[in-house]
Structure 1
């Protein structure tokens, strides 16, 4: 019974610390909160199962341990499956985001901390995005890698807002404080990144630069050339030649 008492006291202290941490926490992470709740619930379930089995088999026998090991093993198996399905628990949010995006887009122009002090007029958006801004950045990264989406839509801030079902002001906040590119500069960058992917795949072997500009949703060849050179320092043709070197 000493072990049960000790574990019970530990769980009570854990609950107290959780309550205090929720009251005092300045930032919250829904994924972490859910994981903590799942983990504590698992421990409580194992604890209660031990009590029930001990009472059922009697205080003087150790036969209850066999069933207890089966129950606790099943709970631990569930926890391992939960971690496997939610790798962000194991790796951490930012590390995971950086590891699962393509190297070419990476997160080099995204910052998970504000790049400058948030202006007073934008503090309400910062508060609104406190729990979700990293997820929103990840969603933007995934969208910017969707070549078909870039081709078939009027790729703009308004389009991204409707695609992600978030206010346009929230996206503008991210571009202002968490991205090296703002507004149209970001949109043009994503189109240029797509052009680079196509060039690396040998697009110009059978097609023209004009069709490449259209494929990347630029209005004209001149606009495409201007933005491509702005981002890479090279014209599309020069970039393509360098690939063969």
Structure 2
């Protein structure tokens, strides 16, 4: 596998990474992450390679986290059923190792759990906006990135403690007309 340095050259990679270490990015580092799935200070034992990577990106951790959350919430990247850490890295213009590092040391949940949680939150937002007035729960599952209704049902129940049907019944009065 090729690294971005090999594929694009170090100057091009450095230009892409500059947005995370620019003065604007540093001012956002004082902000709290959008979601509470993240840990800003990691005390886990790291191997030598991870320690080297940490030194490179430590000042940009919050920027990375906020950009990942924005991709999830605003750009709905997890609607793609095959989205991976490599896809997130490509969207952000950073090496995949940076994204893997974030989920390994600065996330309370794994990448796959984060992806599932993002999809369920997306489905709840769509339900509340009236998506099910003209669509089925199965269409909702596909729209939010699930391969079929069964994994959607299981994930929805795991995250909300309710089946999608029970969620609809309980929230019928709050769903937009």
**Shared fold (TM-score greater than 0.5)?**
yes
Deviation at 1:88, TM superposition (A): 7.1
1:118·1:177 contact (CA, 8 Å) conserved in 2? no
Over residues 131-153 of structure 1, what are the superposed CA-to-partner deviations in whole Å (9 max), with x where a residue is unaligned? 22211111101101135544357
C-alpha RMSD over aligned residues = 2.5
| 2:153 corresponds to which of 225, 230, 235 | 225
Deviation at 1:93, TM superposition (A): 3.1
Deviation at 1:184, TM superposition (A): 1.2
- 1: distance between equivalents of 2:76 and 2:62? 24
1:209 has 2:145 as partner: no
Deviation at 1:211, TM superposition (A): 0.2
Aligned to 2:46: 119
Over residues 84-112 of structure 1, what are the superposed CA-to-partner deviations in whole Å (9 max), with x where a residue is unaligned? xx6975xx6333x55xxxxxxx4211222
Deviation at 1:197, TM superposition (A): 0.7
- 1: distance between equivalents of 2:99 and 2:108? 13
1:157 has 2:85 as partner: yes
> Bigger relative contact order, structure 1 or 2, given CA contacts below 8 A and separation 6+?
2
Aligned to 2:30: 94
Over residues 123-174 of structure 1, what are the superposed CA-to-partner deviations in whole Å (9 max), with x where a residue is unaligned? 1121121222211111101101135544357322221121112222211111
Deviation at 1:120, TM superposition (A): 2.7
- 2: distance between equivalents of 1:187 and 1:125? 24
Aligned to 1:56: none
Distance 1:134 1:232, change over 3 A: same
Aligned to 1:197: 125
The runs of 5 or more residues in structure 1 that have no matched partner are 1-28, 35-85, 99-105
Distance 1:167 1:113, change over 3 A: same
2:29·2:60 contact (CA, 8 Å) conserved in 1? no
Deviation at 1:237, TM superposition (A): 1.5
Give the structure-2-normalised TM-score. 0.75
Secondary structure at the aligned position of 2:66 is classed as: helix
Give the structure-1-normalised TM-score. 0.55
